[in-house]
Structure 1
């Protein structure tokens, strides 16, 4: 907390919907009292998304973080009541399958639930009929029942939390329209409204779909797109006559038709995502009084569009025959927020210190998000991993208004789609390409996407190499998507000859200045006080010892370092902490990188340079400036595939020349271009961790298996004191390598792992190890000895796996160090 009044920081929250009220409650519960919540509409229902929210809370998500948010929301709202009325009806949830693909997806969702600690089970069509008697059982194949899900009374939950926060000193002011954000020396100082100015050390934008409006006042980009979503209520149904409770049946999802259903006493409420996206300009949404004057119930409630509804109504009547004898009594198009990746926008802005976002948060996750943001503000870190939600996660190329609109609209379309974990976005592509893109296309690269980059996963030019392989096990339909046996051929070529990998999308930072060494020594866990030419694997930790990121740091000169990082959040973290004599900048887009790896890598590279690339002249984890052909390069002797080789960096304008030089020289050595699919297989065989997947700031270095990157004997570094305490006891969990017993079995990640018949953890990364002839999976588990047997649940099937010693491949590192 950086504030002139650190003991009693002044906080202004913009927006008194479910997010603003939840955050005020969580902050006051942690002892902060000077909290002002400003709302432009009337309380308790000010007219934003909260005021019309249908209140569905399904906890299960492929995201562990979103599931944790929802679990806390259920727990909290279950404990709240207003005037004797509960803020949550725990009626359960029921997701239906009417296609074989959806039923398989429900089995996968059941696996997520088990992994993240949510109760749920796959049920028969007959059981679905018992839970929801109005459905036509004949069109249903099965369902996924989650008994702890339910309906949040969003406005009531906001009122309950407002009351609790008010008791502790917070104040809520409605009819206050924000007109400006004041700032000084890069920090927020006040919020200006049409009814006065409010001094602030922290300002939190919890304005929902008005977030971009508030952000513009602060000079902060808010990549959020509001969209309208259809919701309707039927007339009274005789089948529901006499219902005493507002709802008694589970909330119902018919995702094969992009529909959901809930009871409203003797009526049924229906929401549809089946219609075309209806993007809304946040700067054109009317304030509360103007909306009412234009015959709108509230600013977030747009007129119902019957033409969009018609196809969905037929789908509703097919599933629920009772609807064939009734009509829609009322409907509206409710506005709510989407981001380019469908996740919330959380965190403090780099452009304006003290200005926070808590945006694109649905009722489902509201209390959990509020708890995390409050922890972040008060304690400096949240108790759960938030990297998927941090507002810094988007690249500059992903923040343009047209990109946000297009991707936000696509997120709406895909809300209920069956999405594969490797499935790339379709548009806008290509957005970012490396200098090698033309050559990759000539070689038949099959591109997936990440961070806006086109990333080759395999090359069709290598298809003839598959014939020389031992038979690659056939895959099931799900694991065969976005995969090819060509990846096995590329992995084999890397192990036996030499391959070129495009490593350009990996983030590169340059840290320079007189204080660069001292700064990096303080910020990271390993010892960087080495002579120029040294490369060091190290960690960014937070104050609690959690792994914020892992870095590869090359000292290229006394006061110049090149840092291999993971995400824009790393740049943000380092920039925030850099002293005046240190400059940190992102050099990724102006540079490129080729990984040259394999036992013949030296045979390829050495004839192209006058510099010594021998083992004696260029040791492992060393760097040097050199020339390869006509191209100046920064060469680093690193290998994330477990083979001899180098990462060769040059400027983007020379990248194509570098590729062509290596390609032509490599022909006599059988060089291939290889993709990320082979890369992932090879790195897992070596046990190399992927930050954000295998480890996050929820994990410490010792349990994550990267304790070797910590030097406790060096001068103070961030997280050191916490690690002193952590190191006094043995870990109770570890990132554990598993080998699947069946050579033909494959898992992909996030599956639950059972020990002695009970859920005990979950898979992080997994890939078939073509060298080992087994699928390799890493999982967070209680400490288990090598040889212990476990079961991984894959689409409901329990697959045997065995705990292995690591590294699984070349444990003496003889292949890399030659």
Structure 2
């Protein structure tokens, strides 16, 4: 091919909607882009997608990304001259029982928080919009006027034309044979048409992405699953403007199609596909229709749409779609290989996400970071369990089966467990622990009093769940006596080398140039001043730091730190998570208990807050960190895993007379809300600066030390704040779970980033940012009258910028 390129700024692999959208947006940014498709555009999975375009997700930024898709699809035909099949005919979601109606009302509030017009309708009003449906069992419905539908192949072709118009070059029937990587640096791609020198590869290869990425050592956890939908002949009463319809209690969805209906769904017993690999030359290919498997969907649909009983069936489409273990798609730069980007695993909503995902991925490539926080879909949310094909498949089957089931607050996954266990797992289980899971780790969420008849399992509810009283007991013990948390799952790193101080000093916003034994709480900032990491650092030696961060952020934070060590500095980062157990001893009696098990002096004078030292407990060298995330006196005890059981038993033996009890992560959440401690990524994250979050005190602005993000912090401090994080409380019978809308003096000003209950203050608690277009001060925040919208109802709320609970004041009162 004489016109085949020799070089490109970036090569995109895959010609589905996401690849073409990425090419479109990168070319618009002025990049020299080449897109390679092994067969024909859309021939993988895009061509058989159902084409529903919904916008609302549980994340504001993912909702914004899907909203961008809608805005793009509205204008694409006028720009390119190619039809897209886009029509904004609105979307309905039904509720057929009281719990689902509560869920829908909470979704409506979330939509209002994010600026979407979601309307609640009666069953009759919903039927007026969708006359073919039976509504005898319908309690109500939600309607989003800006949802719609599109023709996936047409949109993709329009994006491809728009990409070419902006200068992108697209080559079909071109197979990528390999990616040339030398010393961890991408040099180019080898194809069956020749080599292209390029420093950047963007993998948008759909269900082939996992295998393709694995060839360069990159892990992309996705699984091809069979997904079926039925296309009918014309049905009397089906009009072109019929809204899309989702009927989650019957696990089904519908859209208009040339006077007929498309009906599909998410069965509870899905079928993985290509377990042993995707067949060679698979393209523009559908799988054999499986009417027996789809029969359950038909039976569920007939009760909703009786006309389907007599409708002619054009086709039962069975096509493989990429699904992921958590139901979210995958975007971003791979932590294993610089300049290798991924856009894949779209869980059957690639058409809805395609426009926005391509925009976000293009900006990530061009600018080195996404346009805004995209943590729910960031490839760095995965970890060690996600390397195993069988584990991924097991969890993905569960995620697929839950696509339309109730999205309960605090719901845990059941599959692929237990995977990673603390040495104390069996001990804690025998004592009533009910475990949750994060990044494969089993973590005690709460402890059931089985002797009193409490069920040792989660029973989910939109009201107070069955663990509410048990967490209250643990909360009370933390405030009045002492509790022990097993936090072995913490991610733990060491940074070593003669330049460790200089390297960490550049990456960390707080001052880490402190004496050996110092403990430093710090954020790590991006160039916009946004908080990328929130963690604890201990100086172990002149050339060594011990870094502790949250369980779920192991991959992300390791990647952030290692990528930002300045070039030429001699400092190496190691992940030592699996070598250390962590027991967190917290509460006013914590010192009494610790003093009883060690000969070391743990008095306040000898062991100050914000310090660390090695002490001995039952023959074990323990790295004791004087720190707290619950607002009480306490220590995190970091120790080699082989000592965990011995130290645990010694603490409990000494703690018996002081009221020591085991406690779980749900108590940590209630305790930290009372104290006003921030949580990444809900309350703080890449879109929030320390000053906005009330964490400016942890930034070394008074020292003349440069660090990543300093210029942005200085600029903000010289200007104005437009949002400030505050704490809100309501009466205890109000259920807050996050994303409730904040109203100040009757005007919508934000939404809760997290919500829960404070057992000590006996109030429901939420945290969230108050936003204003103009300058915003703490005085402005405190001056307003506040309400929260909770499941579409307004309730009065009190605002605070100070902790709701201060242990020093409580001790004085006591």
Among 692, 695, 713, which residue is 1:723 paired with?
Answer: 713
Among 396, 399, 408, which residue is 1:408 paired with?
Answer: 396
Paired positions, count:
784
Aligned residue number for residue 528 of structure 1: 512
Aligned residue number for residue 472 of structure 1: none
Aligned residue number for residue 273 of structure 2: 280
- Counterpart-to-counterpart distance in 2, 1:420 and 1:632: 42
- Counterpart-to-counterpart distance in 1, 2:76 and 2:419: 47
Q: Cα distance, 1:101 vs. partner? A: 2.3
Question: For the structure 1 residues 745 and 283, does the alpha-carbon distance in structure 2 shift closer, same or farther, using more than 3 Å as the test?
Answer: same
- Counterpart-to-counterpart distance in 2, 1:501 and 1:88: 52
Q: Given the two structures, how large is their TM-score scaled by the length of structure 2?
A: 0.93
Question: For the structure 1 residues 572 and 455, does the alpha-carbon distance in structure 2 shift closer, same or farther, using more than 3 Å as the test?
Answer: same
Among 576, 583, 608, which residue is 2:563 paired with?
Answer: 576
Q: Cα distance, 1:787 vs. partner? A: 6.1
SS in 1 for 2:712: helix
Question: For the structure 1 residues 424 and 379, does the alpha-carbon distance in structure 2 shift closer, same or farther, using more than 3 Å as the test?
Answer: same
- Counterpart-to-counterpart distance in 1, 2:810 and 2:516: 25
- Counterpart-to-counterpart distance in 1, 2:597 and 2:750: 49
User: What is the 5 A alignment of 1:136-535?
Assistant: 136-240=134-238, 247-274=240-267, 276-281=269-274, 284-286=277-279, 298-299=284-285, 301-361=286-346, 362-461=350-449, 477-481=461-465, 483-535=467-519
Asked if the contact 1:23/1:371 (under 8 Å) is kept, the reply is yes
Question: For the structure 1 residues 202 and 87, does the alpha-carbon distance in structure 2 shift closer, same or farther, using more than 3 Å as the test?
Answer: farther
Match status 1:594 vs 2:583: yes
Q: Cα distance, 1:20 vs. partner? A: 0.8
Asked if the contact 1:637/1:645 (under 8 Å) is kept, the reply is yes
Q: Deviation string for 1:511-555 (max 9, x for gaps)?
A: 111111111000010111110011111111011111001111111
Asked if the contact 1:525/1:717 (under 8 Å) is kept, the reply is yes
- Counterpart-to-counterpart distance in 2, 1:672 and 1:788: 41
Match status 1:22 vs 2:12: no
- Counterpart-to-counterpart distance in 2, 1:449 and 1:253: 30
Among 719, 728, 738, which residue is 1:738 paired with?
Answer: 728
Question: For the structure 1 residues 152 and 508, does the alpha-carbon distance in structure 2 shift closer, same or farther, using more than 3 Å as the test?
Answer: same
User: What is the 5 A alignment of 1:673-712?
Assistant: 673-712=662-701
Q: Cα distance, 1:438 vs. partner? A: 2.0
Asked if the contact 2:56/2:111 (under 8 Å) is kept, the reply is yes
Among 594, 601, 609, which residue is 2:598 paired with?
Answer: 609
SS in 1 for 2:733: coil
Aligned residue number for residue 470 of structure 1: none
- Counterpart-to-counterpart distance in 2, 1:72 and 1:282: 35
Q: Given the two structures, how large is their TM-score scaled by the length of structure 1?
A: 0.93
Q: Cα distance, 1:698 vs. partner? A: 0.7
SS in 2 for 1:594: strand
Question: For the structure 1 residues 190 and 513, does the alpha-carbon distance in structure 2 shift closer, same or farther, using more than 3 Å as the test?
Answer: same
Question: For the structure 1 residues 463 and 806, does the alpha-carbon distance in structure 2 shift closer, same or farther, using more than 3 Å as the test?
Answer: farther
- Counterpart-to-counterpart distance in 1, 2:22 and 2:448: 52
- Counterpart-to-counterpart distance in 2, 1:21 and 1:476: 41
SS in 2 for 1:239: coil
Q: Cα distance, 1:747 vs. partner? A: 0.8
Aligned residue number for residue 68 of structure 2: 72
Moved more, 596-605 or 753-762: 753-762
User: What is the 5 A alignment of 1:628-707?
Assistant: 628-707=617-696
- Counterpart-to-counterpart distance in 1, 2:244 and 2:524: 43
- Counterpart-to-counterpart distance in 2, 1:314 and 1:343: 28
The two structures, once aligned, show a CA RMSD in angstroms of 2.1
Aligned residue number for residue 294 of structure 1: none
- Counterpart-to-counterpart distance in 1, 2:381 and 2:308: 44
Q: Cα distance, 1:281 vs. partner? A: 2.1
Q: Cα distance, 1:181 vs. partner? A: 1.3
Question: For the structure 1 residues 526 and 262, does the alpha-carbon distance in structure 2 shift closer, same or farther, using more than 3 Å as the test?
Answer: same
Q: Deviation string for 1:5-55 (max 9, x for gaps)?
A: xxx9621000111101110111111121x2110001224xx4122111121
Aligned residue number for residue 49 of structure 2: 53
Match status 1:35 vs 2:19: no
Asked if the contact 1:232/1:271 (under 8 Å) is kept, the reply is yes
Q: Cα distance, 1:559 vs. partner? A: 1.1
Gaps of 5+ in 2: 1-6
Gaps of 5+ in 1: 1-7, 292-297, 467-474
Aligned residue number for residue 4 of structure 2: none
